[in-house]
Structure 1
Amino acid sequence: MGRPLFRLSVWVALAALSLPIDDAQAQGRLSPNKKKEGESADYALRRAQAFHDLYAGSEEKSEVANAKRTFSARTIGQPAAIGRPLPIYYPSVNRDAKLNALTAGAPAVRFPGSTFRTMTPGAPPQPGIVWRNLGPTNTAGRVSSLAVDPHDPKTIYRGTAGGGLWRSRDGGVTWTPLTDSLGNLSIGAVALAPKSKPEDPQVIYMGTGEGVVAIDGIDGIGFLRSPDGGETWDLPVSVSATKFFAINVHPAKSMEVLVATSGGIQKSTDGGKTWATKLANVYGTDLARLPGAPQTVLATVWDVATANQTGRGFIYRSTDGGDSWTKVAGAGLGIFDAEAGRMALAVSISKPGVAYVLAASAQGDSKDCRQDPVDQTGVYRSEDGGQTWSFRSNPITGSCDADGHDSILGGQGWYATAITVSPTDPNVLVAGGLDVWRSADGGGSWTKQSRWHEEKTSPTYSHADIHAFAWAGNRLLIGDDGGVGTSSDVARSFSRLDKGITTKQYYSLGISPTDRDLLIGGAQDNGTDIRIGASAEFLEVIGGDGFAVAVNAKDPKVLYGSVYNSRIFRSTDGGKKFSEISPKYSRGERRPFITPLTMDPNNSSVLYTGSHLLWKTADGGTTWSKTSETDLADAFGGNGYLTKVAVASLNSQFLLASASNGTVKLSKDGGASWTLQTGLPGSYTTHVEFDPKSLDVFYATYTASSPGGLVYKTIDGGKSFTRVDRGLPRVPVHVLRVDPKDQRILYVGTDVGLYRSTDGGAQWDRYVKDLPAVSIWDIAILSDRSAMRLASHGRGFFEIKLP
């Protein structure tokens, strides 16, 4: 199947975030030199949990703990402490406050869409004035939604997880960003309003906030409208929902819109200015109108919006355009599996009345297989417009053994579920989750058509994790974790449409003082990438989710990358070959999903990583040892894991370690002993940083769910801390760097862009405002201070010349 190297029990994987990892399972070796490696379903679920730790406040964490217990109580044979926690709404984030922060100082309600035309690789750098995008332009990041102009199938709109909305007018050969000037670049759904004449301006409806529950999906600022094809945008006055799964526009009434959101099914009759909730206390996951009968609408909903969530999915039907709804099918009703979960919808254009549903499992594992879960309960069909349904099939092959299962959704129907019907044949279906599958008999039988683990040049390769389908005439478009794929033969073969677009989601970057062109970074579900020369193209060198990276300061051919579970890889030939060099962790260690890795700024042979314990190598990774047996995540209830490690440039014996539960500790003897830092919030600490010119000055940063501030500073070696976040929007801060020339100048990367302080943190302002409001996860300043580079989670890498 191509996945065994990544297999880990979902239940054990979840437990690993708060319980020790079973080393016998978790230490299976992945093959880093095969670019085909990708992310399996179990790790996608671990990623969701890791980001829950990152973003959830104490109230939500209590709800998740209750959800775990409730879910486990009805999960046969699973330990009560490690059931699958289901997605929840995060009330600790004030949605309208976030909207106000992002639009503060706006001269008008209408914003220009794409004023930043310089945001493309190759733009000439101008010191302190213009950001230059460094790519990659040959690969892309996650796509959540697709839309095609019905009058011109070459005009395609791509909504991305963190890089905004893009448009192509030549069938996907070239792309233009439409939303770089907006305050949020997380797109959940996009739809086009009908036009009276093809030459009329195109009205675009867009829901910000990606419709996923993986939590690295950034919450949005509501529903936006463009009256002119994306040139300008009307901003909302309030946030109707923070996650959008689908938008459906009445074919004859361009102002009548239905949306499926984290706030339920909502309706607007004035183009999105005002909304009425028609189905509440659920997540709406899909919408479909019956062709020729636009007042008849089908909706799928997911019971994950309340503390008593079940994870079950249901189908509702409306005959009055969405004003009232009747539950017609779903979990435990009629022929539907009692544990049917999240659902995706599709209706036939060529035969009105025919509709299909692809259903995941509320349990997350319909086969009770810890080794290789199957999050799928089947495909269902209606021939009377959704009034009645019949079971068609549940395509699952293999067994719960060394070979594992093969199914449409794999173990992650909760994350990636999509289905569509051929526009010319009501019996030809295409479905996607982990791979693309095809049926020619109305869902009765299925054939797997794509293989995510194949080489990218193979005609059967399509990137894993499929979120959206759209038809451009008879050509199928596929939105997935790697961008957009396409098929001209109804899913028999595939190619990519990811050239010239920069939407990769990076967690980290590494640079070299001796090779200015070198750039390496770890990306979401797209491995670890290395820049090819001075170009905007990158080469993927390690698969799966790429996290922290490092570059030997004296020898740029020595590179380091990482994947989940604090697994470390090294190359000594400039990235041609990587070998795993991970420490030999003990079975009981709590290893993080987002791997920390820090190189000593004074000695490139010394690196740190860890679990709840700190591991050190003094020989570039050949051997590792623990600095001590001190639990670095034992405060605030314990059971945390390392998030970041900092080494002081003035004295390498000074170390800082931060943890997921808010623990921050300081060592002055290279990690042999540690002192807990008090006076800081007890919540996920995203970053710690030493001042390069004073051992007494250091910083800690936090997410928006912190009960206190976002940035804290000490000037007395940790005896006391001061909150220094005035001017920052109430969104997560992921990283902080101190200017090497002037320690009064600080930079922080947030979920909505880069901010700078010129007075040691007393006041913050957005830095060089032509940078899109994209999530920034890492910052690197070249040693000669000639330039600063950013790793963004949605728009690749950026560079600016420092004044």
Structure 2
Amino acid sequence: MNKCIIFLFVLIFPGALCAQNSEKQLIESHARRKALEEESILKNYAARNVGPVVQGGRIVDIAVNEGNPKEYYVAYASGGVFKTTNRGITFSPVFDGQDALGIGDMALAPSDNNILYVGTGENNSSRSSYAGSGIYKTTDGGKTWKHLGLSDTQHIGKVVVHPQNSDVVWVASVGALYTHNQDRGVYKSTDGGKTWSKTLYVNDSTGVIDLVINPANPEQLWASAWERTRKAWDFKGSGSGSGIYRSDDGGETWRKTMDGFPEGEMVGRIGLNVSVSSPNIIYAFLDNQATVKKEKKRKDEGKLELADFRGMKIQDLLNLNNEKLNKFLKKNRFPEKYNAELVKKEIRQGKYKPLAIAEYFGDANNALFNTSTVGAELYRSDDYGDTWKKMNSYDLEGVYFTYGYYFGEVRVAPDDPHQVYIFGVPLLKSNDGGVTYARLDTIGDVHVDHQALWINPKDSQHLLLGNDGGLYESYDEGANWRHINNMPVGQFYTVNVDMEYPYNVYGGLQDNGTLVGASNSVPNRTKHWEQLFGGDGMFVSPDPRDNNLVYTGFQFGNYYRVNRRENDFTKITPQHNIGEDVLRFNWRTPLLLSKHNPDIIYIAAQRLYRSLDKGDHWESISPDLTENKPQGNVPFSTISTVSESPIKFGLIYVGTDDGNIHVSKSSGGEWTKISDGLPKGKWVASVFASPHDEGEVYVTLNGYREDDFKTYIFMSTDYGKSWESLKSNLPEVVVNDLIQDPVNPDLLYLGTDHGTYVSFDKGSSWVILGQIPNVAAYDLVVHPRENELVVGTHGRSIYIVDVKPFQQVAGNVDVPVKVFSVDTYKYSEKWGKKQYPYLKSFEPQVSIQYYIGQIAQNVRVEIYNENSDLVRVIEDQGFVGFHSVMWDVKTSSYGKSKKRGEQKWNYATKGIYTIKVISGSESDEINLEIK
């Protein structure tokens, strides 16, 4: 192809070259991460999962072996795929080794239930819907996987397998979440995924969200196209590209079938389902984004309303009855300082006009109207999609609210074409084809926000339900449910710790509030975690002096001071003054307790606020630190991260979602912008002030909301005047958090969208923590007393890693051999004995950890008693990295027995033992006391 043709091709298809580069970058990044996993010195280093499991997590699909319903798979939005073979009593993750653990959809081959296709990249278009890496296939029930391509589809809406031929498969691609790309539409393969052809394409902002097949005629399929545009500041969930298509030749060609179905800019997400018993009947569940505005009816003509101040003259306000004005201010929750006298005084002084009162909570026009979207509507076709008819006889208010993009599923009972299930916030069932409905999720502790439903084709009363709270099962058509919540799949936004013994871990979760549990928790074995608060849980900070006092809350800055002992909740969110810009709070609004005095709290909007009295009173200590960009329907130009130096009070760093970073060395007295030397316009994911060097600060930038998957991490040693990249050997990966170890300044921890990394040389190189799955690590903290790293993942709950060995090696990774201290071990006369004949005997074990910094042929662990007699030898490998061998606490008299077979083994007695690790000609040793 000559240059002119290439230029013409790019001119006509401007996204094609970008898509090629993007897909190449994704493939190279995944390959680089896999190489880092294989060579990591932390490949086998222990990381313990502490749960929780009580809350469940967002399920996006359920695939059941219908010939053996006790075997099925559950797919999580950001946690991978789990499998059960015993009806959900236990589950095992089967997808963890793949390039992306965010799942869009999956499908078992009806002709061979060992074959499962998995499409990656959640299709719900949520804030935390991570991009996938294409489609995968297993032919042995999840034991091994093969990548089948479509890497740049990013978000897969549906996978359908031919009922008789498992090599024929169709994939619906939603495409990129935040940008336009051409890897959208319907793809078909006839060779088991070896090759693909795109058979349906609408445009570069319209993907295909759902795809269904006629069970009686596999040549006939229906697809629902969905045009949507998401930006960091705005979400448009509908467009004229949305619609329903039908194919009558196996998905080779498609035609639009919209007779009787809405068309135009307001058509949003569409869910499809076909009746198995009557395949001519198809249901389409629409998110109709058309707006409905109704003028508000006054409940009491004598009371003041916000709308009254729109157009009110100054003198009319001054003439208002004080008691009436005070009641209005209190009812609408204006800041406590405002009463009638103050408002009138400031009006006289010209500080603001009456309109400012109407606009205090936002657009004044909204005060005049009840504005809502039409939302959920169910349509039905009785002629294979040729014509459609709206079925719901009344408005389905409260099913979608304003976020129908998050749902969009409909199911039909296999034995009754008129029994229909639709789900959004609630789960509804209709027995008359969608004309009337009853709610099914009110009996029992059933979570809201429903995403997946399987109906047993041999018993339509048997249901499996997936939602934001996990997995539920019913055997009576949803009249009663049991919660199967035994998988550690929590989607954490934040984590924190207290100073109890053992210490507790706190965290805020997607749609599951804030929870607290012991750091020694074991999923499914120890007690459940305690819920502190509801909503989408965000930052949570216990008072280090008394963990009965906790600061926490939910999305968009709604924070409370919680007295757990007295079950008291006091809202502490700062408020702006009348006449000032409405406060803009980030979805994940920063809340921070000062390291210097926990009575001092920081909360950030577009300005930084500080309270000196536990949130009772607030003062703004900064101007607007953002770019103050025009607003869409999502709060933007907000402060996204705050860090206070633990070394110097008043040294504060602030980062914003629109790319600004500022520093104040004077408790907010003056601010200096320090982001000019960094990539512009990126979301500032984290700023971390060093606990070792006053001028040292770390920054991570995040391009996720532009579908930019590159790595942006930087360090400054001069308060942000100049910056140095720490990307080093990392793959291209979106970064969420970077912190420095509190003990060893050379030790850094990094949380990314694809795993957790450690640097032992201050960012010159990175190694991956192999025992934490390839999920987003959203927040990191090192416990200051126990020196354990707590990792909050967005999809696999919380992991804890003992980093005391890291602290001893960082900055000196070339040390030939280093053995780490072992806690005192308690002697027991029960060692090796059975309590009852049918029980296993109790066998003690001591874990001996050591590090090899220079490769050796082999390693020898020698154990000596107090008399310096060699009593045990353990052989191990000598590759570079961290090792752990188990000593069964048995000893023998080495060298005193003539024959190996005559060597006698006994349990070690009380005393002090020397553990010596020998690597080549080098060695290191420590003592262990058995009490």
Where on the TM-score scale, by shorter chain, does this alignment land: which range?
0.7 to 0.9
Alignment CA distance shift 1:708-1:168 (3 Å): closer
Q: Which amino acid aligns with 1:777?
A: Y
Matched, 1:680 2:592: no
Alignment CA distance shift 1:575-1:385 (3 Å): farther
Is contact 2:277–2:414 with CA below 8 Å preserved after alignment? yes
Where do residues 47-446 of structure 1 align in structure 2 (5 Å cutoff)?
94-104=22-32, 106=34, 129-195=45-111, 202-237=114-149, 239-262=151-174, 263-280=184-201, 281=203, 282-304=206-228, 310=239, 313-329=242-258, 333-336=259-262, 339-363=266-290, 371=370, 373-376=372-375, 378-393=377-392, 395-396=394-395, 406-446=397-437
Aligned to 1:765: 767
For residues 411 and 303 of structure 1, the distance between their equivalents in structure 2, rounded to whole angstroms, comes to 16
Where do residues 639-718 of structure 1 align in structure 2 (5 Å cutoff)?
640-677=637-674, 678-682=676-680, 683-704=682-703, 705=706, 710-718=712-720
Aligned residue for 1:578, secondary structure, equals: strand
For residues 366 and 301 of structure 1, the distance between their equivalents in structure 2, rounded to whole angstroms, comes to 27
Is contact 2:44–2:771 with CA below 8 Å preserved after alignment? no
Is contact 2:71–2:86 with CA below 8 Å preserved after alignment? yes
**Farther-moved stretch of structure 1 (607-616 vs 334-343):** 334-343
Aligned to 2:529: 538
Higher relative contact order (CA 8 A, sep 6+): 1
**Farther-moved stretch of structure 1 (514-523 vs 544-553):** 514-523
Q: Which amino acid aligns with 2:165?
A: K
TM-fit CA distance, 1:228: 0.9
Quote the RMSD (CA, aligned, Å): 2.9
Is contact 2:211–2:272 with CA below 8 Å preserved after alignment? yes
TM-fit CA distance, 1:409: 2.6
Aligned residue for 2:539, secondary structure, equals: coil
Structure 1, gaps ≥5 residues long? 1-89, 113-125, 398-405, 452-457
Q: Which amino acid aligns with 1:540?
A: Q
Q: Which amino acid aligns with 2:771?
A: D
Considering only CA atoms, is the larger Rg found in Structure 1 or Structure 2?
Answer: 2
Alignment CA distance shift 1:575-1:388 (3 Å): farther
TM-fit CA distance, 1:649: 0.9
Aligned equivalent of 2:439, options 406, 423, 448: 448
Aligned to 2:745: 743
Query: What's the TM-score, normalizing by structure 1?
Result: 0.79
Is contact 2:698–2:739 with CA below 8 Å preserved after alignment? no
Aligned to 1:44: none
Alignment CA distance shift 1:621-1:107 (3 Å): closer
For residues 628 and 286 of structure 2, the distance between their equivalents in structure 1, rounded to whole angstroms, comes to 42
Matched, 1:632 2:556: no
Aligned residue for 1:101, secondary structure, equals: helix
Q: Which amino acid aligns with 2:187?
A: Q
Aligned residue for 1:749, secondary structure, equals: strand
Is contact 1:378–1:394 with CA below 8 Å preserved after alignment? no
Note the alpha carbon deviations across 1:111-131, whole angstroms, 9 max, x for none: 99xxxxxxxxxxxxx998211
Aligned residue for 1:94, secondary structure, equals: helix
Aligned residue for 1:396, secondary structure, equals: coil
For residues 287 and 558 of structure 2, the distance between their equivalents in structure 1, rounded to whole angstroms, comes to 31
Aligned equivalent of 2:543, options 537, 552, 559: 552
Alignment CA distance shift 1:635-1:429 (3 Å): closer
Alignment CA distance shift 1:192-1:136 (3 Å): same
Alignment CA distance shift 1:364-1:482 (3 Å): farther
Is contact 1:146–1:156 with CA below 8 Å preserved after alignment? yes
For residues 228 and 106 of structure 1, the distance between their equivalents in structure 2, rounded to whole angstroms, comes to 22
**Farther-moved stretch of structure 1 (581-590 vs 362-371):** 362-371
Alignment CA distance shift 1:575-1:160 (3 Å): farther
Is contact 2:418–2:431 with CA below 8 Å preserved after alignment? yes
Is contact 2:515–2:532 with CA below 8 Å preserved after alignment? yes
Q: Which amino acid aligns with 1:760?
A: K
Matched, 1:467 2:451: yes
Q: Which amino acid aligns with 2:512?
A: N
Aligned residue for 1:100, secondary structure, equals: helix
Note the alpha carbon deviations across 1:193-232, whole angstroms, 9 max, x for none: 1335xxxx60110001001212410000100111111111
Aligned residue for 1:346, secondary structure, equals: strand
For residues 130 and 463 of structure 1, the distance between their equivalents in structure 2, rounded to whole angstroms, comes to 33
Alignment CA distance shift 1:365-1:231 (3 Å): farther
TM-fit CA distance, 1:707: 10
TM-fit CA distance, 1:160: 0.5
Is contact 2:575–2:583 with CA below 8 Å preserved after alignment? no
Is contact 1:509–1:780 with CA below 8 Å preserved after alignment? yes
Q: Which amino acid aligns with 1:326?
A: R
Matched, 1:592 2:586: yes
TM-fit CA distance, 1:425: 1.0
Note the alpha carbon deviations across 1:608-648, whole angstroms, 9 max, x for none: 112111111222223222224x2221489997211111111
For residues 411 and 294 of structure 2, the distance between their equivalents in structure 1, rounded to whole angstroms, comes to 25
Aligned residue for 1:373, secondary structure, equals: strand
For residues 366 and 476 of structure 1, the distance between their equivalents in structure 2, rounded to whole angstroms, comes to 38
TM-fit CA distance, 1:415: 1.5
Alignment CA distance shift 1:180-1:577 (3 Å): farther
Identity %: 28
Aligned residue for 1:525, secondary structure, equals: coil
Aligned residue for 2:548, secondary structure, equals: coil
Aligned to 2:514: 528
Is contact 1:642–1:659 with CA below 8 Å preserved after alignment? yes
| Number of residues of Structure 1 aligned to a counterpart in Structure 2 | 675
TM-fit CA distance, 1:249: 0.4
TM-fit CA distance, 1:516: 3.1
Q: Which amino acid aligns with 1:684?
A: W
Note the alpha carbon deviations across 1:295-336, whole angstroms, 9 max, x for none: 11111111337999726531111111111111112xxx4353
Aligned to 2:564: 573
TM-fit CA distance, 1:657: 0.6
Aligned to 1:756: 758
Q: Which amino acid aligns with 2:403?
A: Q
Q: Which amino acid aligns with 2:752?
A: T
Q: Which amino acid aligns with 1:643?
A: S
For residues 388 and 642 of structure 1, the distance between their equivalents in structure 2, rounded to whole angstroms, comes to 50
For residues 628 and 401 of structure 2, the distance between their equivalents in structure 1, rounded to whole angstroms, comes to 37
